[in-house]
Amino acid sequence: MASSGEPILVLAAVIEEDGRYLITRRPAGVHLEGFWEFPGGKREPGETDEACLAREILEELGARIEIGPEIDAITHDYGDRQIQLRFRRCRLCDPARPLIGQEMRWVAAADLPGLPFPPADRELIVRLARSRPRSSS
């Protein structure tokens, strides 16, 4: 089935602490199950990017976040659906814990390319792996 209509708008929180990134694994039974990703989700109608990310991270990880700038955006066609994915740099205000049965890891930037990520994430993964870690101050 080919994708049609407007792309699904998805926000992802790129959370880094001490040179490691917070990633979660997509659970069984969902699109792209088993792939690692930056946490986030679909933006609801009438919702801002910031409200979407705040809601998704609270629901998935039980944490409040500070939302920073957009660091990448990509539109990707998966065949059955097209997504517009916006990556925002974020900072945790609370400890994160997986609330919906997903796996969660803190991974060094250099180790990101060795994990299975969705095709839409590839360019950002390569760029993060090449970059120097940011200070957590």
Contact 9, 41 (CB under 8 A): no
Give pLDDT tens digits for 58-97.
Answer: 999 999 999 999 999 999 999 999 999 999 999 999 999 9
Contact 130, 87 (CB under 8 A): no
| Predicted pLDDT at 137 | 41
pLDDT above 70 for 135: no
Assign 128 to helix, strand or coil: helix
134 against 120, higher pLDDT: 120
**Domain residue spans of the chain:** 8-130
Interacting residues of 135 by C-beta distance below 8 A, sequence separation 6+:
none
- What is the dotted CATH code of the domain comprising 8-130? 3.90.79.10
